[in-house]
């Protein structure tokens, strides 16, 4: 049995979407990160990096953390939502998967942090991460201008990786973002219309996750702030 350790944020959503698309049996384990569940010993034994998502698979006693690693693990396990098994197609898949993992996710996350949560002064950081987030998303939009999906004419695991973060684009880049990223919006709307995506979005309503970004949540999510001068 597969267990998905989940919080309703971009990276866990990618995994839930894959599981819903493939209809693999799985158990969802909620991890309330604003309450600090990710720092509990039981979760750290699965992901020492204290981040969601994480996944365990009793078949083979597999333990996987990091959303990109999990998506690749599940795609290889099932043989689904992968491009043709040729060197050229696999090279493109890995390139775009890692682009999302090392570019879209980190720059989008840092853009959100400095725009919405970081203490002042932050103008330099906001400028840097907003610029880089826009640059990375524009490259995704450019790729989608050439193809229906990230790798061509077929919906793959790479599109699921993009979808996880694309849902948050207005929060990341601002309310005018879709006017400048029409191809990302097209992909988002198409995936959102899929029954698997609708089931994925419904998951968060089944659990009571903390939504307040209060002082306790800030201390849990941004422990580095304790090092700042008082």
7 and 68 assigned to the same domain: yes
93 lies in the same domain as 23: no
Q: Is residue 57 part of a domain?
A: yes
Whether residue 230 is contained in a domain is answered as: no
User: Do 181 and 95 share a structural domain?
Assistant: yes
Specify the pLDDT at position 51: 97
Q: Is residue 94 part of a domain?
A: yes
The reply to whether 66 falls in a domain is yes
Residue 64 covered by a domain: yes
97 and 178 housed in the same domain? yes
Give the separation between CA 141 and CA 183, rounded to whole angstroms.
5
Residues 51 and 116 in one domain: no
Q: How far apart are CA 199 and CA 196, in angstroms?
A: 5
DSSP 3-state of 36: coil
User: Does residue 110 sit in the same domain as residue 138?
Assistant: yes
pLDDT of residue 68: 98
pLDDT for res 112: 97
Instruction: Indicate whether 100 and 42 sit together in one domain.
Output: no
| Phi, psi dihedral angles at 29 (to 5 degrees) | -115, 110
Q: What angle do CA 159, 46, 220 make, to 5 degrees?
A: 85
Per DSSP, helices labelled H in 79-222 are: 87-99, 105-112, 123-146, 157-166, 169-173, 177-180, 182-192, 195-203, 215-221
Judge whether 22 lies within some domain. Answer: yes
Which tokens go with 180?
Answer: 């400048």
Residues 102 and 119 in one domain: yes
pLDDT at 228: 85
Give, for all 230 residues of the chain, the pLDDT tens digit.
Answer: 999 999 999 999 999 999 999 999 999 999 999 999 999 999 999 999 999 999 999 999 999 999 999 999 999 999 999 999 999 999 999 999 999 999 999 999 999 999 999 999 999 999 999 999 999 999 999 999 999 999 999 999 999 999 999 999 999 999 999 999 999 999 999 999 999 999 999 999 999 999 999 999 989 999 998 898 86
Question: In which region does residue 189 sit, left (phi positive, over 0), alpha (psi from -120 to 50) or beta (all else)?
Answer: alpha
CB 108 within 8 A of CB 100: no
Do 132 and 50 sit in the same domain of this protein? Answer: no
Phi/psi for 63 (5° steps) reads -125, 125
Into how many domains does the chain fold?
A: 2
Segments forming the whole domain that contains residue 176? 87-193
Name the token pair of 206.
Answer: 């089944």
Q: Is the dihedral of CA 179, 183, 184, 189 positive or negative?
A: positive
**Any idea what the CATH number is for the domain that residue 19 is in?**
3.40.30.10
The whole-number pLDDT of residue 229 equals 83
Looking at residue 206, its pLDDT comes to 94
Q: Do residues 71 and 115 share a domain?
A: no
Residues 99 and 165 in one domain: yes
| 105, 70: one domain | no
Q: Report yes or no on 106 lying in a domain.
A: yes
- Whether 209 maps to a domain, the answer reads yes
């Amino acid at each position: 049995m597969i267990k998905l350790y989940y919080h309703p944020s971009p990276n866990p959503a990618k995994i839930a979407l894959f599981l819903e698309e493939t209809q693999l049996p799985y158990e969802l384990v909620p991890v309330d990160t604003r309450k600090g569940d990710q720092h509990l010993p039981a979760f750290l034994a699965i992901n020492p990096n204290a981040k969601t998502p994480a996944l365990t698979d009793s078949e083979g006693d597999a333990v996987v953390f990091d959303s990109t690693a999990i998506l690749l693990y599940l795609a290889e396990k099932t043989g689904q939502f992968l491009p043709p098994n040729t060197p050229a197609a696999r090279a493109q898949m890995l390139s775009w998967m890692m682009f999302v993992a090392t570019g879209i996710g980190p720059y989008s996350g840092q853009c959100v942090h400095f725009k919405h949560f970081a203490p002042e002064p932050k103008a330099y950081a906001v400028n840097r991460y907003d610029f880089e987030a826009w640059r990375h998303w524009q490259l995704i939009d450019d790729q989608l201008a050439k193809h229906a999906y990230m790798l061509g004419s077929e919906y793959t695991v790479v599109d699921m990786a993009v979808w996880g973060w694309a849902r948050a684009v207005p929060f990341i880049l601002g309310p005018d973002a879709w006017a400048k990223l029409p191809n990302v919006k097209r992909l988002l709307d198409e995936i959102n219309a899929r029954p698997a995506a609708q089931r994925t979005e419904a998951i968060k309503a089944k659990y009571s996750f903390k939504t307040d970004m209060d002082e306790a949540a800030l201390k849990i999510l941004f422990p580095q702030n304790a090092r700042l001068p008082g």
